[in-house]
Amino acid sequence: MKDYLITEIVQGMLPYLDNAQLMRLREKLTECLSNKVVTDGSMVDNDTGTSNDAFVEMFIAAKKVEGCSERTLKYYQSTIVKALEQIDKHLTHITTEHLRKYLSDYQEVRGCSKANIDNIRRILSSFFAWLEEENYILKSPVRRIHKIKTAKMVKETYSDEALEHIRDNCTNIRDLAIIDLLASTGMRVGELVRLNRSDVDFESRECVVFGKGSKERPVYFDARTKIHLKNYLDSRTDENPALFVSIQHPHNRLQISGVEIRLRNMGRKLGITRVHPHKFRRTLATRAIDKGMPIEQVQQLLGHSKIDTTMEYAMVDQNNVKISHRKYIA
């Protein structure tokens, strides 16, 4: 109870005292209450004037200003709200132990992977770090919860045969153009569906995409993609400015889910496992690295802010590692 009361007082003085003063205040309170008895009856409810929901809304607004997508914002909000509801305490009284127990219980009940749990930890860390930076709390309780080690899995890429098999079995020129554009540029599916016709420069064989963090970057496509994309656009009779639209009238802009469903159904029909848009991106990164493209250039091509992210995408062909070993070492 003493620790609870001391924390309550210190948190209430956050807007008025600096860190050194707050530490001195905590020391003095601990000293004064060392020989005192604090009972439940003397405790009062938390009265910060701001609810958990209000803090979450402020955090989401801050992340929105930073350029996070609506999809990311919804994921952040739902993850944080679930944790706060489960712990059932005002966030100024949430401790490291509360969060550790939440993560442990979450994994046990849901049976999810360590990678999933680490994603939740990362989001909670971002939230509480923001609260600390904004001086709403003295110290983030997530600081002592370290990154959860996860097994590194070698993710699949498309083989040359699989890519040709997919191309040969496209039932319309729109799908063929989509597959070629994903395969040759390595763009994200969200970037693909936001493209307009005016964004494509056929002479230079490039287009400008609007990626994560509201960043624009040029991507490049090959001659085959140029031909198939021009054939698709020439076949269109609608006036929609979107680069890709639905086949059925009224030909609305194609959405992410539409691309994902189309590719998944195609994969099932052809007996190819895990056919999805992101796999084209990983395949391009892997082949670029495998053929000697500098990792910094691959990073620019994919639009990654950190080179570590690029390294996770690029899985170098093990056969080439063996050849290099014989060339340089053996």
Rounded distance between C-alpha atoms, residue 275 and residue 261, angstroms: 10
What's the pLDDT band for 42 if we cut at 50, 70, 90? very low
Do 108 and 154 contact (CB within 8 A), yes or no?
no
Do 30 and 55 contact (CB within 8 A), yes or no?
no
3-class secondary-structure state, position 254: coil
pLDDT > 80? residue 5: no
Residue 324's pLDDT is what?
Answer: 67
Q: What's the mean pLDDT in 96-110?
A: 93
Rounded distance between C-alpha atoms, residue 88 and residue 68, angstroms: 28
Q: What is the pLDDT of residues 150-205, one digit of tens each?
A: 766 667 889 999 999 999 999 899 999 999 999 999 999 999 999 999 999 999 99
- pLDDT over 90 for what percent of the chain? 54
Hey, how many other C-beta atoms are within 10 angstroms of the C-beta on 225?
Answer: 21
What's the pLDDT band for 47 if we cut at 50, 70, 90? very low
C-alpha of 212 from chain center? 9
The tokens for 216 are 């624009």
pLDDT > 90? residue 236: yes
Residue 320's pLDDT is what?
Answer: 63
Which of 48-62, 95-109, 234-248 has the weakest average pLDDT? 48-62
What ranges do the domains of the chain cover?
A: 2-133, 160-323
Residue 8's pLDDT is what?
Answer: 76
Q: Which amino acid is at 219?
A: V
pTM of the full structure: 0.66
More confident: 314 or 100? 100
What counts of helices (H) and strands (E) characterise the chain?
15, 3
Residue 1's pLDDT is what?
Answer: 63
The CATH topology of domain 160-323 is hpI Integrase; Chain A (1.10.443)
